[in-house]
Chain A
Amino acid sequence: MIIRDHLNPVARDLPKSGIRKFFDLANTMEGVISLGVGEPDFDTPWHIRAEAIYAIEKGYTFYTGNMGLLELREAVSDYQRRRFNLEYDPSQILITSGASQGIDLVFRAILEPGDEVILVSPTYVAYSPLVQMAGGVPVYVQCKEENGFKLTKELLEEAITEKTKMLFLNFPGNPTGGVMTKEDYAELVPLIQKHELFVVSDEIYAELTYEGKHCSIASFDEIKDQVILMSGFSKAYSMTGWRMGYLCAHPDVIHAFLMIHQYAQMCPNTIAQYAAVEAAKNGDGDIEMMSKQFLMRRNYIVNGLNRIGLKCHMPKGAFYVFPSIQSTGMTSEQFCEELLNDQKVAVVPGNAFGAAGEGYVRISYAYSIDEIKEALTRIEAFLIKRGLK
């Protein structure tokens, strides 16, 4: 049997993530200073970790209901009301194993073969492959740096066809750090209504919004039933390894999710759910502390990059900067490979996030000021050596 021929061609032929390739390279080298990660560097706050330990001690190690612990869904419901003024009944909240599982669920539960999903490029690496695995067709909207990588009414209108079923948003976004304001969203709402689109809003970086308050597209009542809010604990509380996420949506949508989730996942990790209850109830102070640190680091790295000649705007959210490297005359991949080989600094090529990312690199500032400083020194040396500064 020729094994390859018997595999699902969609899974078999998905391209390797551009990040994966880079990870393999960086991991074989000694003395690499990496600005390549998509997770915070803080320890999960101790009071949250302690709850997981207590959960184990008390023997809370069985399955929970498919939807997740009621206590956790209530805590998430309170949290969304308290932080973002959003009303979701606990019955409208499904706890998932990281927001990642949520991404897979929404596509599988909603898409039919040939349905188009509008993705905002440059875009997080997981969306497009999962759309394809669910039989959907990704359609990219190319956002521009000069608009702060926002989705505009014009761009959206151009991308909509009669096959469009879903608009997928991620603000504040990975990899650009772009955000959308209430006014920005208001422009899109009539189109979403008119074309009866589902909107999936991945708001995992909501708490890392540095200027003004985060606005969710779910706050527009006229389309709230069409919106699926996706979030989780990873970025706000530095809980990436716990794999705790959730989906908030209309009860009929949640029902469809649950039909898949009950068989595919049963329930997320019970112990992590108890930790998440503590985070949602008593973690606001941790959020403030971490987002303040990120704000300082953002300012530090953006001012530093501009000084050494890599022009970038000040992103308003998440923990990434997305500077243009077009002035160097190199492609994104060339730049990253040479920077890694030459100075042992790992950053991620922008084209790993779609064609619109070509000419850019993603630099994460989920690092201490000292680490960022060292990386900036090395990047500057790299540019000077090539006569680019």
Chain B
Amino acid sequence: MDELMLLEALEQNARLKVTDLADILNSSEDEVRKTIDRLKKEKVICGYHTVINWDKANKEKVVALIEVNATPERDKGYDNVAQQIVKYPEVSSLYLMSGKYEFTVIIKGKTMREVAEFVGSKLAPIDGVKGTVTSFVLKQYKIEGVPLEENRSAQTRLAVTP
């Protein structure tokens, strides 16, 4: 079975059922189920999420991007600091970056006050963190490849053409 195609199909639509995936991949349900289980175990498939425009659902929740300056340790580099940051459930994503600062922390679904509290009392005091710069997202236009406002008519093709 084409594993890459399985992953791409799931990345586009996580709600496809095993029967659908088997048809799409021209494979058996059993084979698809086993492959998905293995990919989950190997942490290739890490989760299934819904793309939500929180701006529309709840105006209180914000997205924050926090640039974090950190000091590396001998032999460990930035891994220990990263492990400390990862532990907080407030953190949606964490990346080690090239450039002027070390980490990008993304926090989603908190209020501005909650983010401020988290940065001040949790993130900044971590050993090895030298400083933080917090930026809040003002408006979202596209998330995970999905434009949030579709401004054209949905179907402009004719119903039947040669």
Contacts and interface: CB of A to CB of B under 8 A. Distances in A.
Given A296-B24, A299-B23, A304-B23, A125 B162 contact: yes
Contacts, number: 62
A34 interface: yes
Contacts of A32: 159
A367 to B, nearest CB: 10
A292 B162 CA distance: 23
A34 B23 contact: no
Contacts of A38: 161-162
Interface residues of A, number: 30
B140 to A, nearest CB: 19
Interface stretch (A22-30, A77-85, A147-155, A158-166): A22-30
Looking at B5, B9, B13, B157, the one whose CB has the most chain A CB atoms below 10 A away is: B157
Contacts of A296: 5, 9, 24-25
A39 B161 contact: yes
Contacts of A34: 159-160
B32 to A, nearest CB: 12
A346 interface: yes
A169 B22 CA distance: 34
A145 interface: no
A299 B25 contact: yes
A220 to B, nearest CB: 29
A124 interface: yes
Contacts of B16: 369
Contacts of A292: 5, 8
B20 interface: yes
A129 B22 CA distance: 42
Given A22-B160, A34-B159, A292-B8, A373 B24 contact: no
Contact of A36 (B5, B22, B24, B160): B160
A300 B20 contact: yes
A297 B20 CA distance: 10
Nearest to A33: B159
B35 to A, nearest CB: 15
A348 interface: yes
B158 interface: yes
Contacts of B24: 296-297, 299-300, 369
Nearest to A23: B160
A37 B20 contact: no
A296 B161 CA distance: 22
Nearest to A36: B160
Interface in B4-58: 5, 8-9, 13, 16, 20, 22-26
A202 to B, nearest CB: 13
A360 B16 CA distance: 30
A27 B157 CA distance: 12
A334 interface: no
A187 B99 CA distance: 61
B157 A41 contact: yes
Given A300-B24, A369-B13, A369-B20, A37 B161 contact: yes
A334 to B, nearest CB: 17
Contact of A373 (B5, B20, B22, B158): B20
Contact of A17 (B20, B23, B157, B162): B162
A19 interface: yes
A87 B114 CA distance: 64
Interface string A337-381: 000000000101000000000000000000001000100000000
Given A292-B5, A369-B13, A300 B23 contact: yes
A303 interface: yes
A23 B157 contact: no
Interface in B110-162: 157-162
A126 interface: yes
Looking at B5, B26, B161, B162, the one whose CB has the most chain A CB atoms below 10 A away is: B162
Nearest to B6: A296
Contacts of A41: 157
Interface in A251-279: none
A304 B17 CA distance: 14
A105 to B, nearest CB: 18
A23 B25 contact: no
Contact of A346 (B20, B23, B159): B159
Contacts of A304: 23
What 10 A-B pairs come out closest when comparing CB atoms?
A36-B160, A303-B23, A23-B160, A299-B26, A34-B159, A26-B159, A300-B23, A296-B24, A300-B24, A38-B161
25 contacts: A17-B162, A19-B160, A19-B161, A22-B160, A23-B160, A23-B161, A27-B158, A27-B159, A32-B159, A36-B161, A37-B158, A37-B159, A39-B157, A124-B162, A125-B162, A297-B24, A299-B23, A299-B26, A300-B23, A303-B22, A303-B26, A304-B23, A314-B26, A346-B159, A369-B20
Given A34-B159, A300-B20, 12 more contacts: A19-B160, A19-B161, A27-B158, A32-B159, A36-B161, A37-B160, A39-B157, A39-B161, A292-B5, A296-B24, A299-B26, A369-B24
